[in-house]
């Protein structure tokens, strides 16, 4: 029988403590999915000294990247911070995951139900979301349908499932190759950015694995994924009940209240997530 688990990345920068998000995610994974969580991090010593490491199955140390990009992180519509963005080298998860069957998730996904666990029952070896539902009512989803206006279908590298197979090994090696040669792939796939995003790397790799067309390499993750943007705010988080402030259309700095229950939400505003986590003693 193969072993199963969740892997999450945490590469801290001077503004965001991803490890703290991982600790909460590990607790939620235990509660809703009953799965072990391993953390891949460039700050293993910090994990061991600052947090109760019993929430993690394994702590896997990687070397810190020195060539990370500096990016803008928004905190609602009116505030922003600049800091390093080290959310790359995700392709190494194939070799680093201690599990035969792995769910990889961003640390800012708030798990509120058990749908992810059905991925392990699937006959398919690679599952990923090709859509995510915006909690805001008015925003268009165009930027999340295709990686650019003239390019290929968009896939969310936020949450995905894979088994260790030769085909998947090839896929992750391809993602690594795309990341290494990203400026070339930006031209080929007509992207308007030079910043590597896992979503772009995965979307391009899936397109190539499918024979440069849409196809069956990637299958859909079970359940649904919801998201807020970094211009929205997570306002409260109690078990499965989350409350948000969603930016209003055309009224900068004004928000609409919204709430979810039992839905998995990708909280792109990491600062508001951090503030909510700060309200509770994380080692309890």
Partner 1 sequence: MDERLEKALEFSNYMVTFNNKKRLLKEKFETDLLYYVRGSQFTITKELITFVGFLVDKGNTTDVVLTDDNDYPIRISDLEDFYDEIIDRYFSAANEYLNEYEALKLNRSVESIVDYE
Q: Is 142 in the site for partner 1 (CB under 8 A)?
A: no
- Cβ-based neighbours of 65, under 8 Å, separated by 6 or more: 11, 42, 86, 88, 89
Q: Segment near partner 1 (CB under 8 A), from 49-57, 80-88, 183-191, 239-247?
A: 239-247
Chosen residue from 67, 123, 142, 250 binding partner 1 by CB under 8 A: 123
Tokens read off for 20: 């703290």
Nearer to partner 1, 122 or 190 (CB): 122
Tokens read off for 185: 């792939």
135 three-class SS: coil
User: Min. distance of Cβ 257 from partner 1 in angstroms?
Assistant: 4
Q: Segment near partner 1 (CB under 8 A), from 12-20, 93-101, 122-130, 179-187?
A: 122-130
What H or E segment, with its residue span, contains residue 26? helix 18-28
Q: What whole-number distance in Å separates Cα of residue 59 and Cα of residue 37?
A: 9
Chosen residue from 214, 259, 278, 280 binding partner 1 by CB under 8 A: 259
Chosen residue from 12, 136, 158, 203 binding partner 1 by CB under 8 A: 136
Tokens read off for 168: 């998947």
Cα–Cα distance list, 177 to 163, 170, 183, 184, 204 (Å): 20, 10, 11, 11, 11
Chosen residue from 68, 122, 148, 168 binding partner 1 by CB under 8 A: 122
User: Min. distance of Cβ 260 from partner 1 in angstroms?
Assistant: 6
Nearer to partner 1, 151 or 260 (CB): 260
What H or E segment, with its residue span, contains residue 208? helix 198-209
- Residue 259 pairs with which residues in a beta bridge? 243
149 CB-side CA count, 13 A? 1
Nearer to partner 1, 14 or 121 (CB): 121
Q: What whole-number distance in Å separates Cα of residue 221 and Cα of residue 235?
A: 28
User: Min. distance of Cβ 79 from partner 1 in angstroms?
Assistant: 21
Q: Is 150 in the site for partner 1 (CB under 8 A)?
A: no
Alpha helices in 97-197 (DSSP H): 166-180, 182-188
Nearer to partner 1, 185 or 226 (CB): 226
Q: Is 262 in the site for partner 1 (CB under 8 A)?
A: yes
Q: Is 279 in the site for partner 1 (CB under 8 A)?
A: no
Q: Is 223 in the site for partner 1 (CB under 8 A)?
A: yes
DSSP state of 29: I
Q: Is 168 in the site for partner 1 (CB under 8 A)?
A: no
Give the footprint of partner 1 on this chain (CB under 8 A): 113, 115, 118, 121-124, 133, 135-137, 219-220, 222-224, 226, 235-236, 241, 243, 246, 248, 256-263
């Amino acid at each position: 029988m193969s072993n199963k688990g969740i892997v999450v990345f945490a590469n801290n920068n001077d503004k965001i403590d991803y490890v703290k998000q991982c600790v909460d995610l590990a607790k939620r994974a235990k509660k809703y999915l009953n799965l072990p969580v391993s953390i891949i991090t460039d700050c293993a010593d910090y994990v061991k000294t600052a947090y109760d490491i019993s929430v993690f199955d394994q702590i896997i140390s990687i070397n810190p990247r020195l060539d990370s990009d500096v990016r803008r992180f928004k905190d609602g519509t009116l505030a922003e911070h600049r800091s390093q963005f080290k959310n790359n080298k995700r392709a190494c998860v194939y070799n680093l995951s201690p599990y035969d069957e792995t769910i990889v998730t961003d640390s800012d996904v708030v798990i509120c139900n058990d749908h992810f666990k059905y991925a392990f029952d699937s006959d398919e070896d690679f599952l990923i979301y090709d859509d995510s539902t915006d909690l805001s009512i008015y925003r268009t989803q165009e930027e999340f349908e295709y990686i650019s206006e003239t390019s290929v279908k968009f896939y969310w590298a936020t949450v995905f499932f894979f088994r260790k197979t030769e085909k998947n090994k090839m896929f992750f090696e391809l993602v690594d190759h795309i990341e290494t040669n990203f400026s070339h792939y930006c031209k080929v796939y007509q992207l308007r950015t030079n910043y590597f995003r896992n979503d772009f790397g995965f979307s391009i790799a899936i397109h190539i694995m499918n024979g440069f067309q849409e196809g069956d390499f990637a299958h859909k993750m079970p359940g649904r994924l919801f998201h807020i943007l970094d211009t929205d705010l997570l306002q409260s988080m109690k078990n499965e009940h989350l409350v948000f402030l969603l930016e209003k259309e055309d009224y900068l700095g004004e928000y609409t209240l919204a709430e979810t229950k039992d839905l998995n939400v990708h909280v792109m505003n990491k600062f508001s997530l951090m503030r909510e986590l700060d309200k509770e003693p994380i080692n309890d």
